[in-house]
């Protein structure tokens, strides 16, 4: 496929490029986005190199690329570098900041959301997650508060200023969800629901879409699914890995560690990891989260509940606020080594329980690591404990 | 199962404990190890709590534990803390040091092994890997140099002082391998070869065994396999994760990230990770290696070849020495944050190509991370580049 | 969960049962279906046995069952025997007849559908499959003829009298699909699209739904998905197995043979198997089809194309009409041994190429089976070849 | 790889072929077998077609084939048709007869083995399985009777005339096992134990080897493993599928139905299926067994225990003799349709409980199939019940 990206081009310039393309190939798509238009053409005889070169010199053309994968618009070759998706004023996913989105599985009540929002924001989370419409395995389980849940999200968003991420289950609630949230989540059950993805691609708001990888979806299919949104003209797609079916009996899903750098090598889109659904048990969430940071992810989607034992869903995999806080503290010590920031580094994330040095270390469930963290961590720690 | 660990006990003390055990339970095993003996008993009626308490107060008894898993000796409850396996003078796996074992897939020649040994030792590796006997999928592929390969390993070991790790394929070569290497590797194809594991358990040398997890082996079965070695009286087992069959089409195997903390929560034995076989492509090895460190592994087994293009096996997944060096440099920046050391921190691992700051960041295949690593990394870097 | 099925009950009888239920439990759902209503109640303290017994004696109650699985309405305990779903006059799936649904992956043109319909009907197929709306991995691949495809299906249905099965991708085309087809197919990508399943449950036509199992969906989740349709009041669900992600590199999917009897043991709903998507290669389709019959399936969904090389999708796994014909011939010899019928046994399915005896045997790709089929097959054969 | 099979060739003829081969290629192996020798050569430049043609005309050459897969000797192209492995006087696997090998998981006692042997032989089994050396997941589980178990097998073999199949765990017991059994089983844990496979290839007795496919072994690796035995000069390999790791939570393993015809398409070696380990539950064994027959397997390896509740291992998946008998009855009705025989068809396998017609049908766990099996089955039934 030949991709021609045009930026700030005049109508006549686009027409000229299209005319030349059509004389040598079949034009497969004309994708509008915020800043211009992208043309995709497919050759019948493979001799596109000469025409690609000519087009590259035409006015209004920002980028010409030949792409051999099944996915095109999400392919790494389709953009000059990594893409950052702007969520709201001052928040983008895919830039230098490692962005943590946290909150409960389900919106259960106003007080629950307010308490959680305050707790996660205080620990460095930049956006709040919470499902108003819940895809539950059984039709007889709690299905979410629906419209009432959206109203709660809208209130908490107004009060805290936190961006809000919530799941869309079908087109009937698209308008209401789009009007409320900052990022529309597409869950793993709908990862290949092309009908829904097409609607999100055509959304006039170009609302960012957080697309989860399906439990049986290959990276190739995953990026093709992203292409369904991009092809409609919505360039704001955030990819989310949350594990696939796998061999392990230890965890809810198998999160193949290699998928993180492998996906990063294939696409220009930002990647976040959901350690909660991967692990299925809160004990393992901090280790998975830190590994995701180190392996190249751009952020996390984490389940935090102010009272996991009382949660209406996903109780076993939700962190308590204090444990989330400690996890963020550790991530904020690792991030600088990788050239990443977390929240605002001038106010380092404190360990809320004032743990001594040893606890700064990432805690595997059985602890065991030595307490003497080295000087590299000192500055942040001192600001925290006033030592 | 009731486990009774006796240390520095007199024969009469052991007899007294055994007698009491037998009066209440079936004694399943009597496992000698370096410092004493461990008794395992199985109750017919489950009323072992009172006798456990009595035994706990008897002379010579170091530890009494009730263990409900299928694996017993490798279970976390079987030891008071994490176990470190001593490899040679000054080198143990499972302690504070994150131990990197590196080298080619196969021993191909003396010069190849000498060149690689020097290169990996210079970059902070503490032991050399290299197969003399190779388990190849096809009987018509190169099967390793055999005895000649062992002789090369012995020479290089003598010359460099590096500990040597090499694979054993069957009992016929057990004596020769045991006489040459510091750690005997059992590959994933023999992960459940109980006949071989029993022989390694009975080895008079108590040579450390690096046991790889099979491609279709659960953590439960893996720890049971370790028990086969431990039950023979050899307490020196190092576990190695290298990925299992999985859904991913991106990598040779699927290394479920959650398996690392989950295994650590179940066992007291040290855990190393093989990022080369997991990834199957050298580009992804550094990201997997760093994630393993962060997730709680005690070390790595990495393939490095001085000329991967000419390697007789595993060319695609072998790092060149310079890339290995750069990976070690990055690991040495991450390790202190986790309370770990790598090689000798007073001589930090240098980036051999003198890369500027930006390259200190862990490089996903498409790079892209910002160049401005923060002050946390400064000290190590200055020592390296003299800036 | 306590299930109370009421048939031909008066309103007052239903009210009486509901009142008694409510006094002892939480009523979770009230499911209408064609012939009555089913009430589902969940106890808070588990003491439902006495009330279940009382309810069992009340007028209008056809069945009371306690069901411990997550799925309820599709559970075997929810019906007195196996359920047959009526597709049209004279055709039901789940009865004694082994029902073969055949046709191309995509509706491509009127002539294509007419040619295929005639061919498959002549070989004993009882319904025609063909996608008007196609869920394609890439947004730039052929997406189906859409409304035009539905019109072609309607014409062919009228002309041939064959029932028609076609896929629904989203609610926007629900009305049009419902007005055209006899069975609405939900593909594996939408297997857990609960929003869509709920709409199908509420469909006034109670159009039969052929629900495919997702590639990463467990049997438990699959039956819960069926419950989403059933809970809306549409009792006409046909389950379809087509393989899941798996270890095999031989086939597009892994169709675990054990899933067929295991699913049959768990549900009263009819089960068909899609051998084409499981195998991914036409050579293996006949063996998979025959095995499905023997393992207990109620029918097949098979891809047949009159010119596979020219097919717009799924070319590799589509049978040519002549090979389909031969496969049906063989199935018609096996079915009687299992107490099943295929199409109309008084007109046995002929082998269109008049193959001698040997070819009556099921042909594995390399043939090899002996030519001397025994007398059991003689009658059918003679009617066919006039020997 | 170029394969040259020589039969009844004089030494000079072999030398002439070898000389010609060497002048154009690298000779990779010289494999003796019962009736001659097979030469394998690998070209450096791929121009083997002309020399292949010349060799094909040389005296003593029975077959020349170019083989592109990693496995060579087991490849379908390596033999003129399907290979039947002779087990003993009058019994071969891979011919027209569908051979059923049945018996308990473990040899537990003489009376147990005698009772089971009589029962399975009476129902049409042609060989007895039973493990003397057992590969158990835990070292503290029953490990088999060892030498004592072999002695029991030898006695029962002498008394009943049944061929005996038993597992080998390691080279230390090779001599004793070889001296006792008719077929040496290599279990799935040793599927890739190349050291052991090489020893079996060099066995002077050329004892048939029943090689199970590993739980994480691809068909490609499986056939390469068979090549390890064949390359040593032992041509008698029987392949056994028993399921692999997979997605299903319904069964112990996932037996991908497509693997049976796919394996048959790749190799000339006989294939048996182990329905007991695939299903993990006896209820599903008959359906899996019948499907294997229909899909193209050459036989079965089935677990039968005279008292499953008392079995020392694999209790859940062992059939009682009466259920085994009924399963054999049904298989004997299906086999003729496929051109296969089971045991001695002139004495059809009776249903021991004298079930009426309906029960002749293959019973899925919930039965449900109609009772009126058609005339196709009548002859066999009448001979059985004297109706």
pLDDT single digits (tens) C344-379 = 644 444 444 444 323 333 443 332 222 222 233 333
User: How far is residue C226's CA from residue C203's CA, in Å, rounded to a whole number?
Assistant: 14
Residues of B in contact with D39 (CB under 8 A): none
Instruction: Determine contact, residues B287/B319, Cβ cutoff 8 Å.
Output: no
Q: Last residue of some domain: C17, C32, C66?
A: C66
Distant-in-sequence, close-in-space partners of A94: CB < 8 Å, separation ≥ 6: A82, A83, A84, A85, A238, A269, A270, A298
pLDDT value of residue D313: 81
pLDDT reported for residue D311 = 85
Query: What is the least distance, in Å, from the CA of B305 to any CA of chain C?
Result: 30
* DSSP letter assigned to residue B7: E
- CB contact (8 A) between residue D139 and residue B195: no
Decide if B156 is inside a domain.
Answer: yes
Chain A, nearest residue to B244 by Cα: A247
| Neighbour-count burial for A339-361, b at 16+ CB within 10 Å, e otherwise | bbbbbebeebbbbbeeeebebbb
Are residue D106 and residue D252 in the same domain, yes or no?
A: yes
B265:A366 CB<8 A? yes
Q: What is the CATH number of the domain that holds C27?
A: 3.30.70.260
Q: Which residues of B touch C244 (CB under 8 A)?
A: none
Residue C226 confidence (pLDDT): 98
Interface of D with B (CB under 8 A): 1, 28-29, 40, 42, 70-72, 135-140, 169-172, 189-190, 192-196, 198, 214-217, 220-221, 224, 227-228, 231, 244-245
Q: What's the complex ipTM? A: 0.89
State whether residue A251 is helix, strand or coil: coil
Are B256 and B111 in a shared domain? yes
Cα(C330)–Cα(D338) distance, integer angstroms: 9
Of D129, D164, D99, the C-alpha closest to D299 is: D99
Nearest to C169 among A71, A136, A194 (CB): A194
- What CATH number has the domain bearing residue B267? 3.20.20.70
This prediction's pTM: 0.91
Per the CB < 8 Å rule, is B139 touching D198?
yes
Burial of A89 (0-12, 13-18, 19+ CB in 10 A): exposed
Q: Report the distance separating Cα D105 and Cα D87, nearest Å.
A: 20
Whole-angstrom Cα distance, residue C224 to residue B198? 47
Instruction: Select the residue of B42, B135, B227 nearest D194 (Cβ to Cβ).
Output: B135
- The DSSP string of A73-104 is TTBGGGSSS---EEEETTEEESSSB-EEEEE-
- Dist CA B152 CA C63 (whole Å): 78
- Alpha-helix residue ranges (DSSP H) falling in chain A: 11-24, 49-56, 110-122, 147-160, 174-180, 194-201, 219-231, 259-266, 275-279, 285-295, 321-334, 378-385
> What local confidence, expressed as pLDDT, does residue C315 receive?
80
Check CB contact under 8 Å for A258 and B279.
yes
Q: A268 is written with which tokens?
A: 């220009």
Q: Name every residue whose Cβ is closer than 8 Å to that of residue D312 and which is 6 or more positions away in sequence.
A: D105, D106, D108, D142
Residues D35, D164: one domain? no
Per the CB < 8 Å rule, is B192 touching D189?
yes
Specify which residues C33 forms β-bridges with. Answer: C36
Residue C181 backbone zone (phi > 0: left; psi -120 to 50: alpha; other: beta): beta
By CB neighbour count within 10 A (0-12 exposed, 13-18 middle, 19+ buried), where does C232 fall? buried
The verdict on D200 and D102 lying in the same domain is: yes
Which of A229-238, A340-349, D206-215 comes out lowest in average pLDDT? Answer: A340-349
D137 with B190: Cβ contact below 8 A: no
CB atoms C245 and B247 under 8 Å: yes
**Parts of chain D with a pLDDT under 70:** 44-46, 248-250, 344-387
Mark yes or no for CB contact D29/B139 under 8 Å: yes
pLDDT band at A132 (very low <50, low <70, confident <90, very high): very high
User: In terms of CA atoms, which chain D residue is nearest residue B188?
Assistant: D192
* Residue A246, phi then psi, degrees to nearest 5: -165, -175
Instruction: Provide the residue range defining the domain that includes A269.
Output: 85-338
Q: Are A182 and A87 in contact (CB under 8 A)?
A: yes
In the A/D pair of chains, how many CB contacts fall below 8 A? 3
- Which range in B356-370, C141-155, C250-264, D340-354 is most confidently predicted, on average pLDDT? C141-155
pLDDT computed for residue A249 by the predictor: 65
Residues D330 and D287 in one domain: yes
**Closest of D298, D279, D284 to residue D339, by C-alpha:** D298
Q: Strand A61-66 relative to strand A2-7: parallel, antiparallel, unpaired?
A: antiparallel
Q: Identify the bridge partners of residue A316 per DSSP, sorted by sequence position.
A: none
Q: What value does the mean pLDDT of chain C take?
A: 87
Task: Tell me the pLDDT tens digit for each residue of C294-339.
Answer: 999 999 999 999 888 888 887 888 999 999 999 998 899 999 989 9
Q: Measured between CA atoms, how close is A138 to chain C, in angstroms?
A: 5
A192/C228 touch (CB, cutoff 8 Å), yes or no: no
Same domain, D44 and D156: no
* Angle, vertex CA C213, rays to CA C212 and CA C218, nearest 5: 165
Any bridge partners for residue B341, and if so which?
B97
User: What's the Rg (C-alpha) of chain D?
Assistant: 22
Answer yes or no: do B133 and B256 share one domain.
yes
- Please indicate, yes or no, if residue A80 is contained in any of the structural domains: no
Binding partners of A (≥3 Cβ pairs within 8 A): B, C, D
Q: What would the mean pLDDT of C272-294 be, rounded to a whole number?
A: 95
pLDDT of B341? 92
Cβ-nearest to B284 among A261, A371, A377 = A261
Task: Give A261's contacts in chain B (Cβ within 8 Å).
Answer: 283-284, 287-288, 364-365
Same-domain check for residues A96 and A58: no
Please count the structural domains in chain A. Answer: 2
Q: Where are the beta strands (DSSP E) in chain B?
A: 2-7, 26-33, 36-42, 61-66, 85-88, 91-93, 99-103, 127-129, 163-167, 183-186, 209-212, 237-241, 271-273, 299-303
Residues C211 and C241 in one domain: yes
User: What sections of D123-193 are H helices per DSSP?
Assistant: 147-160, 174-180
> Do residues C59 and C195 share a domain?
no
Facing residues of B13 across strands? Answer: none
Q: Which residues of chain B have pLDDT under 50?
A: 345-387
CB D113 within 8 A of CB D104: yes
In a domain, D346, yes or no: no
How many Å apart are CA C371 and CA C377, to the nearest integer?
Answer: 12
Q: Which residues of B touch D42 (CB under 8 A)?
A: 140
pLDDT the model gives residue C348: 43
Give the nearest chain A residue to B363 (CA atoms).
A296
C378, two tokens: 């003689």
What chains are in contact with C, requiring at least 3 Cβ pairs below 8 Å? A, B, D
In a domain, A323, yes or no: yes
Confidence band for A360, pLDDT divided at 50, 70 and 90: very low
pLDDT at C356: 34
CA–CA min distance C350, chain A (Å):
41
Asked, for residue C180, whether it belongs to a domain, the answer is yes
Residue D361 lies in a domain: no
pLDDT at C49: 85
Interface of D with A (CB under 8 A): 216, 245, 247
Query: Whole-angstrom Cα distance, residue A93 to residue A182?
Result: 12
- Is the distance from CB of A336 to CB of B376 less than 8 angstroms? yes
pLDDT number for residue C385: 33
pLDDT in tens, B180-209: 999 999 999 999 999 999 999 999 999 999
Q: How many CB pairs under 8 A join A and C?
A: 100
**What is the pLDDT, as a whole number, of residue A196?**
98
Q: Does the residue C356 lie in any domain? A: no
Is B358 within a domain?
A: no
CB pairs under 8 A between C and D: 253
Integer CA distances (angstroms), A346 to A381, B227, D190, in order? 12, 50, 58
Same domain, D150 and D43: no
Minimum distance, in Å, between the CA of residue D89 and any CA atom of chain C: 21
Q: Look at residue D243 and give its three-state secondary structure.
A: coil
Among the partner-chain residues A169, A198, A215, the one whose CB lies closest to the CB of C195 is: A169
**Closest C-alpha among A271, A317, A324 to residue A296:** A271
Interface test mutation site (partner C, options A69, A140, A211, A231, max chain C beta carbons within 10 A)? A140
* B53, B101: one domain: no
């Amino acid at each position: 496929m030949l991709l021609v990206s045009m930026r700030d081009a005049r109508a006549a310039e686009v027409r000229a490029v299209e005319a030349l393309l059509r004389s040598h190939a079949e034009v497969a798509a004309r994708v509008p986005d915020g800043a211009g238009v992208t043309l995709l053409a497919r050759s019948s005889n493979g001799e596109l190199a000469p025409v690609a070169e000519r087009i590259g010199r035409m006015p209004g053309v920002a980028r010409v690329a030949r792409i051999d994968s099944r996915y095109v618009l999400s392919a790494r070759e389709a953009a000059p570098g990594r893409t950052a998706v702007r969520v709201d004023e001052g928040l983008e996913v895919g830039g230098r900041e490692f962005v943590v989105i946290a909150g409960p599985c389900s919106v259960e009540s106003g007080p629950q959301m307010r308490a959680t929002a305050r707790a996660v924001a205080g620990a460095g989370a930049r956006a709040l997650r919470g499902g108003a419409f819940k895809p539950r395995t059984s039709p007889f389980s709690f299905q979410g508060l629906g419209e009432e849940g959206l109203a709660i999200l809208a209130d908490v968003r107004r009060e805290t200023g936190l961006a809000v991420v919530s799941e869309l289950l079908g087109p009937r609630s698209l308008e209401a969800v789009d009007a409320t949230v900052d990022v529309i989540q597409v869950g793993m059950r709908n990862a290949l629901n092309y009908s829904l993805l097409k609607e999100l691609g055509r959304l006039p708001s170009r609302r960012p879409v957080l697309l989860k990888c399906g439990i049986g979806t290959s990276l190739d299919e995953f990026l093709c699914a992203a292409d369904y949104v991009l092809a409609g003209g919505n360039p704001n797609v955030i990819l989310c890995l949350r594990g696939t079916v796998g061999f392990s009996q230890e965890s809810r899903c198998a999160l193949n560690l290699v998928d993180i750098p492998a996906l990063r090598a294939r696409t220009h889109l930002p990647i976040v990891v959901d350690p909660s659904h991967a692990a299925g048990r809160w004990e393992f969430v901090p280790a998975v989260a830190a590994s995701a940071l180190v392996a190249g992810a751009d952020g996390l989607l984490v389940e935090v509940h102010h009272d996991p034992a009382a949660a209406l869903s996903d109780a076993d995999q939700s962190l308590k606020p204090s444990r989330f806080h400690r996890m963020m503290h550790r991530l904020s010590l690792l991030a600088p080594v990788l050239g990443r920031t977390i929240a605002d580094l001038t106010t380092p994330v404190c360990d809320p329980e004032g743990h001594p040095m040893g606890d700064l270390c990432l805690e595997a469930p059985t602890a065991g690591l030595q307490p003497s963290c080295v000087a590299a961590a000192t500055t942040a720690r001192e600001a925290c404990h006033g030592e």
